[in-house]
Amino acid sequence: MKITTPLQSASKHLPILSSQDRGWEHIVVEQFQCPPGECTMHHNDEHTICLSLSPRPIRFFQIKGGKSYSSLYGKGDISITPAKMPLFVRWEEKDNYLQIRIAAQFIQRVARESLDKNPDRLEFLPEFRLRDPQMESIALMLFKELQQENLGSQLYIDSLTNVLAVHLLRQYVTTKPQITSYRGGLNERQLLPVLDYIHDYLDREINLADLANLIGVSQFHFSHLFKQSLGISPYQYLLQQRIERAKQLLQQTDRSIVDIALACGFNSHSHLSKQFRQLTGTTPSKYRGK
């Protein structure tokens, strides 16, 4: 099939959804729907993951790392392009895919915090086409957040970004690193300041780095230690506490639901209502009317 879209027009392929205006840190998630064509990509400071969303397989031709590859790509197929590596791609039908770019500097920081070796020596492997259920699951959770009208919680995005970074380090570098393991959860001396911090700043955006810094461990390990201690993730705990505060304000004050939403860290009436219904089975207005 003849390719009709010229190389120089690739810059016109704009994402239909992008996280660039969401304030997400260390990661960019974008959905593209492109007509048949070709393009060259080169990201100096980011590793790139592409996940096919096309229900019908599409033939792709790729050149990267001095190698070429041609194959059909269908829904769930993934390609990985390390930072600084140019990529040329040609596709023969309308394409629908998710592109995730994760900062190379962030990956190095995660490696430095979690590994027992110099992260500067880590070399990522280019992958043309692979199946990775765990990576696909993380990518689809990020995609779901991207599709939400309300801004996603930074703590939730941070957690997914860290899990993705560690997965890349475990599976797609030339020398498989040893990830430092922490067991036993957080002790009371570590846990109480974290819970107090969450309680004191429920109305603000809480980052995973803020919580991890309180006890001096990596963000990835903090998430695991926290879950070992309380049985739920930091994001789930934060959401529960916000809903509990909303319940108190609904019952004990006559403040508007919009004001209560903002006071509890939600960005709108609808954002609060959605999360409130998921956790309680009812809406804020019906809960107030009990």
Among 238, 243, 241, 245, which residue's Cα sits nearest to residue 207?
Answer: 238
Rounded to 10 degrees, the C-alpha dihedral 188/193/194/195 comes to: 80
User: What phi, psi does 184 have (nearest 5°)?
Assistant: 100, -5
Strand order in the sheet with 87-91: 37-41, 87-91, 58-64, 67-73
User: What phi, psi does 49 have (nearest 5°)?
Assistant: -120, 130
**3-class DSSP state for residue 61?**
strand
What's the predicted TM-score (pTM) here?
A: 0.80
**3-class DSSP state for residue 255?**
coil
| CB contact at 8 A, 257 and 272 | yes
Report how far residue 2's alpha carbon sits from residue 225's, in angstroms, rounded to the nearest whole number: 54
Q: Can you give the pLDDT of all 290 residues of the chain as single tens digits?
A: 333 333 334 445 789 999 998 889 999 999 999 999 998 988 999 999 999 999 888 999 999 988 999 999 999 999 999 999 999 999 989 999 999 999 999 998 888 877 655 667 788 889 999 999 999 999 999 999 998 866 668 899 999 999 999 899 888 988 765 665 566 788 888 899 999 999 999 998 899 999 999 998 888 889 888 988 888 889 999 999 999 999 999 988 999 999 999 999 988 888 899 889 988 889 898 888 76
